[in-house]
Structure 1
């Protein structure tokens, strides 16, 4: 029997953003953490757990303290002596962002180093979320351990959500990414792909091709497509939901992740996929109007409630 909590699995990094001359603002972000941030903000009293692995350095300690200050725990995630978090910097051209990463020896690559602890973190969760980036930072054995733990949680009653989130630079070969993502979709209940990623990885010609392909494995799919409509495939039907145009976005970082968290929060609250997508679009539109990946909870909640 699944419990009331929500768990997200992956890598939270140190984020350098908001450059002014030589000065940068440091925060904490990463695709699965950004999603959990929105999901937690919009899910009331549900316990939230970020499942990863952490170092014992001051930055890792600050990261864990930041989570706790915002009501997010780390469960039984390992603390690895001598390890440290990954780092990335955001540079902006207008509102469009590019990233530079330093993550090769990040602690999160060892998140499946203790399979028993990993499985324990996923026990009694209403929802378990992970992404293609989670898969990409793991070696083959760790990836197999992760998917086994997710499948076990699903068999015990947890809903599993997955965003393929393909990032070519994280994979040695496109074929490896394809195989791993198909394996992940086989243990997924709700898929949240982004069409340009799927087009790049699977040569999909249109969002419907993505929905049709993933729909053979997953019962509920929402294909995101930037400012174009999202395509919902659920219960044997296809529905488009228009996105919200923002005339002067400030920073698009984290918009898709916030869409995911908002959609999942709405589904957990009992809203149907159509209403969940409308709410997710409103939140994503709000997020692109603030700097950095993590919008304040009050902004997320106001957008979610409309």
Structure 2
């Protein structure tokens, strides 16, 4: 089967940012969309890029799909759900560090796995499929199982599956539920891109090496453990290596840094670059992203950083 195209599965929300003086900017963002944004910027236009989700039938949902299309991102066979709408979140900043307030109970994306045939169609013949722990967390248990089954089918048909556990406690009923779902996801993934503080919180890992051992024992063959401004621990093909982060003296906004790392890393891997080269390029891109406001850096910023690495 000829493989081509990339897909990211999850929830893209309306983003309110820059709310000083009561004046807010509205954009579109969410962890898996932020990652696809970077992949779209850093892969040739001949490679299709699709955001696999579910959308509402309201004007904001239509604007969101138009925004995707304007930037070369499709939606494959993602359904439009009557009466649903996008989730919404607002970013508040303390210096460069951010916090989030969410409104997402009626999010259409919670229905992304309600049509198994549409989901499988959206994932067909993909060179790479990406998803996250937040993708899992917004779904009910039966829908999580449907998604994992669709990912397993895509993998059996030749797709590489990439996953960031991205643990957010408030989205889960319990740590036990999160661990069960994330463990099931790890069983069908080829590339894991976790963040160490998340793994330490959920699994009690004492250090990066403990996280690396656990993921390797789960059968993941390629692992890049992010750790903020500290080096990334990378394992692919047997050995491990620390890849230093790129220092930024005065970051503007850390929103989307890890997501952009993931997108740059995966774009490099889709292009056939070695894992170590991919991680170095990913750090350069993440460093560029935290020097601009918002989760979605301009394509030109992403491309310049990626080319310089």
TM-score (norm 2): 0.98
Q: Distance in 1 between matches of 2:239 and 2:183?
A: 22
1:63 corresponds to: 64
1:215 corresponds to: 216
Question: How much has 1:72 moved relative to structure 2?
Answer: 0.3
1:185 corresponds to: 186
Aligned pairs (5 A) from 1:30-179: 30-45=30-45, 46-179=47-180
Deviations 1:88-137 (A, max 9, x none): 00000000000000011211000001000000000011000000000000
Aligned pairs (5 A) from 1:15-34: 15-34=15-34
Where does structure 2 lack aligned partners over 5 or more consecutive residues?
none
Count matched residues. Answer: 306
Q: Distance in 2 between matches of 1:35 and 1:238?
A: 24
Q: Distance in 1 between matches of 2:288 and 2:108?
A: 32
1:258 corresponds to: 260
Where does structure 1 lack aligned partners over 5 or more consecutive residues?
none
Determine if contact 1:2/1:158 at 8 Å carries over to the other structure.
Answer: no
Deviations 1:201-233 (A, max 9, x none): 000000111111001120000000000000001
Question: How much has 1:2 moved relative to structure 2?
Answer: 4.8
Q: Distance in 2 between matches of 1:102 and 1:287?
A: 25
Aligned-residue RMSD, C-alpha: 0.6
1:8 corresponds to: 8
Secondary structure at the aligned position of 1:229 is classed as strand
Secondary structure at the aligned position of 1:233 is classed as strand
Secondary structure at the aligned position of 1:243 is classed as coil
Deviations 1:134-193 (A, max 9, x none): 000000110000000000000000000000000000000000000100000000000000
Question: How much has 1:41 moved relative to structure 2?
Answer: 0.6
Q: Distance in 1 between matches of 2:120 and 2:272?
A: 27
1:279 corresponds to: 281
Secondary structure at the aligned position of 1:128 is classed as strand
Q: Distance in 1 between matches of 2:238 and 2:125?
A: 30
Secondary structure at the aligned position of 1:222 is classed as strand
Deviations 1:14-45 (A, max 9, x none): 00001120100000000000000001110112
Secondary structure at the aligned position of 1:72 is classed as coil
Secondary structure at the aligned position of 1:224 is classed as strand
